[in-house]
Structure 1
Amino acid sequence: MHITAEPGESHVVLHLRGEFDTYYCHLLEEEIAAVQKSGMQLVVLNLRLVKFINSTALGAIIKASKALTRNGGMLVISRPSAFCRDIIEKVGLNRVVPVAETDEEAITMLIEKAKPAAQSDGPSEEDPSSVIFRMADMARLRHFVEQEKAKNPLHGHAFGDNWAGIGRMSGLDEDGLRFTWNGGKTDLTAFDMGQMLSVGTELLVKFRLPLLQRGYVEAKVTVSFLEERADGVKVGCRFVEIDDETRAAVGQYAQDMAFLKEELRKATDQ
């Protein structure tokens, strides 16, 4: 396999050609290290001319993606060959690393990534990992808000009858989902968030299932686990009301992710 680097103003396009297997994983690792050493963290991986790819190579791509992400960067796969696309979709790699149809589309993704964002507000509704949640009992929300106002009447928390929180999904299976929440613009402490989302609280949630269904799916859940953290809370929820089609899609998603993890485990062990 050969790798050709095509540098841009703030990104690099790496064109791979040939067969990408275990023997050539070090080439990608060295190229990513060189890109980072040059000060760039945004990379397009063009796989148009890659005729073969194995599980170890997929693991190398994920490792490269994580290395870039740790430094505020991003990796996007572009123009995968028919063989690569089949493998990528089979193991669900496109749920971990974005895939674009053209280099231009990939570069646009990187540019959007590079735009300054208010990190303290957490994920946005457009983020595919977002979990949008509302209190099933709005009276409970209003009660909680009144308590907060009583504690600090000079502070205007960002609440209202139409309030919704946006967390980041950390796990999903047939029984329920897990997400983290940093409080968004509410300025709540982790303790306050824990009180608001205590075990037994019912929530109405919306979340996405990449590839399996467009847009958001909805369900009613009960909080079954809550952990306070320095930057917010981790919430575990059990499905209470969910339609059969969505449950089946969630089950398929969980199976696909389990398959991907097993493939990555094999790649790591090799």
Structure 2
Amino acid sequence: MTSSGLRRDELAAFLRTRRARLSPAEVGLPDGTRRRTPGLRRQEVAQLAGMSIDYYIRLEQGRGPHPSRQVLAAMARALLLSRDEREYLFRIAGEHPPATVGPSREVSPGLRHLLDAMTEAPAYLVDAAYHVLAWNRLATHFVGDLATVPDARRNMIRWTFQQPMTDAHWADADVRRFVHSTVADLRAAYGRYPADPAIRELVIELLGTSPHFARLWAEHDVEERRPIVKRVAHPELGPLEFECRVLLVPETEQRLIVYVAEPDSPTQAVFRRLAERVGP
């Protein structure tokens, strides 16, 4: 398609409705002053998409220039569009939707803001293959300082199956359930993205190096993630107990993993002390 396929009125209406359904908190922005109308302000969308407010206003008024593919992709991220919505956005703008050949590894500004705002809960973001994309300060006490780890090695599933079967954590039923669900999630991603080299190489590597992974992989299970309780004997922090929540980000199929301590528990007190130590 070319610019002649641009449907300005449809594009304008679509952008307005998608903006109106979002709250500032959903994209990591402060609520600020009281709002006369629901949703994000135009300048907030422009800020998240990295474009001028005047350019975005003209698009919403149906009088803007033909948006480039880069602009469309930026608006899709800013408005947290689902895959179907992103495809629709490209089509009404007179462009072919980008092909989905692998899991999204782009971290939206909203999710980065959300991670930074979670000052008392360790949290990190992974893609559909459990490759760690971003993390907050508290998470470094559990997954290490990933800034010093080569990007290609930041994979949760690889770390898990590098642990010998004699390691004590394999005796924990909750850990075994979590690992089973993680492998099932990876199989689902393997089916959705058969052309993705990173997923294929990870599976081939683990099939060759981990008999335990090979057994779980052979079960062909695909299942929904559920929260589990994790009990950790941390070498510095002592015994900790928290719920491990895996939250799906539908528009990118990423997962936000959060360690949630029970209110007023010893673990919550530890998380708070850590937050005070690391600072903002």
TM-score where L is the length of structure 1 = 0.27
More strand by share: 1
More helix by share: 2
